Each structure stands twice: as C-alpha cells, then as structure tokens.
Structure 1
Amino acid sequence: MHQESTMDFNRINDRLTVSGQITPEEIAILAEKGFTTIIDNRPDAEIGPEHGSETMAAAAQEAGLAFAYLPIVPGQFTPDLIAEMGRLIDEAEGPVYAYCRSGTRSTTAWALSRAGNLAPEEILKQAAGAGYDLSAIAALLAR
C-alpha cells in the first residue's frame, strides 16, 4: 500500500478530475483509484526533469495508464489546444486526471472544449464545484 498522498482531487465531473502538479509516485495511486488517462498540461519549462513529461509518461506507462503531454502556456488557449483537450477527454477509456501548476489551466481548457456543447452555466457550476472560478471566461463559453 502507498503512503497517504497530499494530492488534491478536484473533481469536475464523472469524466474529469484536475489538480496541481503531481509526482511520478502518485501516478500509481491514480491507477488504483480507477483513472485511465493522465493529461499533463504543465510545460516542461516550468519544472525540473523530476516532474517533466518524459518522467511522468514513464510512470504512467509503468502504472498502465494512457498519458498525453499537452502543455499550456498561461493565457495561450489556441483552438487546436482546446480541441485536443476535448478529444483526449472524450476518447479516454475511463476517468481522466489532468494537471498543471494549480489545475486552473486544465480546468479552463476543459471548459473551453465544452463551449457550445454544455450550457455556460453548467460549465461554470462544474468548475466551481471543483474549486475553480471561471467567471472571467463566461463570455467565451457562450458561443
């Protein structure tokens, strides 16, 4: 059994949970909890190699989880990035765990990927339920 983790599990919905940076050791805990896919939204330039995408991908592979490196530079949510975040979540075989520095970029990318498919109020409610206030992008969600 693993020691108790300090990870935050900020559950957006049945499909997605987000948090700040996790460690390679915590990936095994995510596998035990039933997650099938990890999305790393934290650019490698923000962190050292001990938490870099290659290290995290190797830990995910060892734990039997799918892994995607989709770095988000703060404030740079391109249409391609938003579409890819949505695709990764939609095509995952089960629950997805995404992380960045605090979870905000992961949540924002998810929210923008749902614009036009979910009511803006529902997107904001799900994000708020996980502790993320996305009211600043509410106008972008109503498209």
Structure 2
Amino acid sequence: MDIRRITGDISVSPQISPGDIPAIAAAGFRSVLCNRPDDEEPGQPDYAAVAEAARDAGLEVRSVPIPLGPTPAATIRDFARALDEMERPVLAYCRSGTRCTMLWSMVSYEALGGDEVIRRARAAGYDMAGLIRQIERG
C-alpha cells in the first residue's frame, strides 16, 4: 500500500484490496473513496469487496468512478460532494492515485489557487502543473 498525503484530511493511493483495510483504519482514516471503475483491469479487487471490508472496519465508503479520458462534469461534482460529506480523513484510491489527485486538484483550485495545488500534489508525487495550466487557460 502506498498512501500519499495531499492535505491533513485527504490522501490518495493506488488500488487497495480488502486486506489493506485494517491498516487503513489503524492509520486513522475514517472514510474510503473509490475512484476506480470495476473491471478496468483483469484481477483488480472489485469495489463491493473493498466496501464490505471497509464497512466491517467501521469506515464510511463511497464510489465515484473516474473513467479514463475526459472527466464528465457530473463526476467532478460527485467527487466534490463526496469530499464535502464524508468523514475525514479520507483515503481516495484509483489505479495509481493520479486520477484521484487530478480530481482533488480540480475541486481545490478555486480555494487554494494553482500554485498551492501544484505544490501539494507534487509533494505527494503527482505532477498537476499541466492540469492547472489548462484550468487557468479556461
């Protein structure tokens, strides 16, 4: 498991498995946000199995799948709503953590500004400079 902190309340990770949930709960996370569509790749743990393990550990869990390619506006809204409503700290995961970080960057841009979003994402190991340039170009 490779958990990368973006803020005090939001961390991202590559794909997790049900067996990772006890360590996630022990690390103090209160919620798990799945951003990976089921069946994206053969052999990946499905959301239902991760969700069951998370609930059994007392964690809140939601799924807001982020498809590969252009991100639909509804997905961005659903991601923002999940972050607003879920108990923190939240661990969001996808295949590599990049899409979670991308969505976090989009929904945090207005409040934090481009430089701060880039700094926090970079500290977690993700380069969001190109995305921020796109946002700033409108």
| Structure-1-length-normalised TM-score | 0.88
For structure 2, the residue ranges without an aligned partner over 5 or more in a row are none
SS of the equivalent of 1:136 reads helix
Task: Tell me, yes or no, if structure 1 residue 24 matches structure 2 residue 12.
Answer: no
Show CA shifts across 1:36-91 (max 9, x none): 11011111021457610111110111111111111111123122211221221122
Inter-partner Cα distance in structure 1 for 2:57 and 2:108: 29
Report how many aligned residue pairs link the two structures: 137
Quick check: 2:32–2:60 contact (8 Å CA) kept in 1?
yes
Quick check: 1:104–1:132 contact (8 Å CA) kept in 2?
yes
| Structure-2-length-normalised TM-score | 0.91
Inter-partner Cα distance in structure 2 for 1:114 and 1:125: 12
Inter-partner Cα distance in structure 2 for 1:95 and 1:117: 19
Change (3 A) 1:135 1:65: same
Inter-partner Cα distance in structure 1 for 2:28 and 2:105: 23
What amino acid is the match of 1:30?
I
Match of 2:85 among 79, 86, 91: 91
Inter-partner Cα distance in structure 1 for 2:106 and 2:41: 25
Paired residues for 1:114-125 under 5 Å = 114-125=108-119
Quick check: 2:60–2:87 contact (8 Å CA) kept in 1?
no
Inter-partner Cα distance in structure 1 for 2:135 and 2:89: 23
What amino acid is the match of 1:31?
A
Quote the residue 1:11 is aligned against.
5
What amino acid is the match of 1:46?
E
SS of the equivalent of 2:76 reads helix
SS of the equivalent of 1:98 reads strand
